[in-house]
Amino acid sequence: MSIRPVKRIIQAKPTLEGAGVHLRRAFGFDNPSEFDPFLLLDDFRNDDPELYMAGFPWHPHRGIETITYVLAGNVSHSDSLGNNGLLGAGDIQWMTAGRGIMHQEMPRGDERGRMHGFQLWANLPSSLKMTSPRYQDVPSKEIPLVTDDDGTQARIICGDFWGKKGPVDGIAADPRYLDVYVPPGKKKTLKVETYRQAFAYIFEGTGSFRNASAPQDTLREILHPNGVEQLEWSGNRSLILFDNGDEVTVQAGDHGIRFLLVSGKPLKEPVAWGGPIVMNTQQELQQAFSELRSGTFIK
């Protein structure tokens, strides 16, 4: 067994999307090979309705899958196929855009004004870029929650883990999507097969992910003016990109740590990316936007 070293640590950055939704972007629109098969991760947690109510009005997607995970509040959605629905706390929507879909997502906070959740984009391989669109809407009650002997918990959204299988299936990149909580002070090792690209995104508490060769934290070293070095633990809105290995180890801080642990099999294909449309070649991308202009995008 080999522990995956930390390759890079990224702090999610503020950005605007949709009709003016304030969110934090952990990665996206940079080097797509670094997170292959994943393209983008947005953290849309916000407690001020004025900063999210404008939502994401009608827009297209082609060539990707979007995965929306709601922690608090509600997201209403509708699309060009006539589908309508409402995602609540703990619910998941896995949308395969395939050959093309138009949809809208409109966030509505809970009674405290909170609208919390994440959206992950996964790429589709060239063989499935023009597949039929489909939705998998999964209510919270159908997502397995497994608790280990030490109190560590994992919600299994997609993939196999600890003897359970998540309800989302038929996904090309063979992803595993987990919501993991490790109790205060506990150290936990979690299996991630060597063929997978993997990252963790922390959204509650603090902790450190350990290097393969060093017992110390692999996070930022801070040199204070008095010359004292201090290792800073990672916390809210920190993304940890892992290097090669077959397991990751996390040491939880004083208040525990909760994070998304996401992994998948890299597609290793060329990427031509234009906003909400992701194809393999510039010619395919130009064709998609030409169809949008001519009204022939929806097949």
- Give the Cα separation of 180 and 261 in Å (integer): 7
The values of phi and psi at residue 126, to 5°, are -55, -35
- Give the Cα separation of 151 and 179 in Å (integer): 14
| SS3 assignment, position 115 | strand
- Give the Cα separation of 256 and 231 in Å (integer): 18
The reply to whether 299 falls in a domain is no
pLDDT score at 169: 82
- Give the Cα separation of 254 and 138 in Å (integer): 33
Contact 36, 197 (CB under 8 A): yes
The reply to whether 159 falls in a domain is yes
The reply to whether 1 falls in a domain is no
The band of 232, judged by pLDDT with boundaries at 50, 70 and 90, is low
What is the C-alpha end-to-end distance of the chain, expressed in Å? Answer: 48
The reply to whether 235 falls in a domain is yes
pLDDT score at 213: 38
The reply to whether 213 falls in a domain is yes
- Give the Cα separation of 89 and 75 in Å (integer): 9
pLDDT for 212 beyond 80:
no
pLDDT score at 137: 92
Q: Which two tokens stand for residue 99?
A: 């050959």
pLDDT score at 130: 96
The band of 211, judged by pLDDT with boundaries at 50, 70 and 90, is low
Most distant CA atoms of the chain, gap in Å? 65
Give the pLDDT confidence of 130-180 residue by residue, as tens digits. 999 998 899 999 999 999 999 999 999 999 999 999 998 877 778 999 999
User: For the chain, what's the residue count?
Assistant: 299
Instruction: Find the domain containing 81 and state its range.
Output: 6-294
* pLDDT more than 70, % of the chain: 92
Average pLDDT over residues 59-64: 97
Check the CA dihedral 161-210-260-62 and report its sign: negative
Q: Which two tokens stand for residue 41?
A: 């991760």
CATH number of the domain residue 247 falls in = 2.60.120.10
Residue 151 one-letter amino acid: G
pLDDT score at 100: 96
| Tally of domains in the chain | 1
Average pLDDT over residues 253-276: 96
Residue with the larger pLDDT of the pair 135 and 91: 91
Q: Scanning the structure block, which residue is given the tokens 């560590």?
A: 152
Q: Buried b vs exposed e over 39-66: b needs ≥16 C-beta within 10 Å? A: bbbbbbbbeeeebbbbbbeeebbbbbbb
Lowest-confidence region among 13-17, 77-81, 287-291: 77-81
pLDDT score at 179: 98
Number of C-beta neighbours around residue 14 at 10 A: 9
- Give the Cα separation of 230 and 12 in Å (integer): 22
pTM: 0.92
